[in-house]
Amino acid sequence: MISGLVQILFFQSLGELISKFALPTLPGPVIGLVLLILWLVFRKGINPELALVADGFIQYFGLLFVPAAVGVVLFLPQLKANALAIVSALVGSVVLTIAASAIVVRFLSSKLDGAKQ
């Protein structure tokens, strides 16, 4: 179990170092997660120690949402007062995200079809 935790902390620390010195616009834990995934793909599997630690984290993952829920309850009057703006922003961002994704997929699929011929 200690080995799995050390692996996770190693990749998070490596991500923090890369974020600090090379890619300051990306968060260190995100870089570390990508590096960990690449490492696991390179190794073609997850060792049992890492799987045990990951399962332990996932078991208590729901607790991470408690502060967000408390924040929602705390600011409920402001959320009610601005409900129309919030809903409009959420719906608009979802529609724009779907449209942008469709455009990118269409562009890339046309490039891929052109490369096959």
Q: What is the per-residue pLDDT for 74?
A: 87
Boundary (domain end) residue, out of 19, 42, 59: 59
Whether residue 56 has pLDDT greater than 80: yes
Percent above pLDDT 90 for the chain: 31
Q: Are residues 32 and 79 in the same domain?
A: no
Q: Are residues 40 and 79 in the same domain?
A: no
Distance CA(80)–CA(26), nearest Å, equals 33
Instruction: Give the structural domain span for 52.
Output: 1-59
Boundary (domain end) residue, out of 18, 35, 59: 59
For residue 41, give both structure tokens: 């793909």
What is the reported pTM?
0.55
Number of structural domains, the chain? 2
Distance CA(70)–CA(20), nearest Å, equals 32
User: What letter would DSSP give residue 62?
Assistant: G
Whether residue 115 has pLDDT greater than 70: no
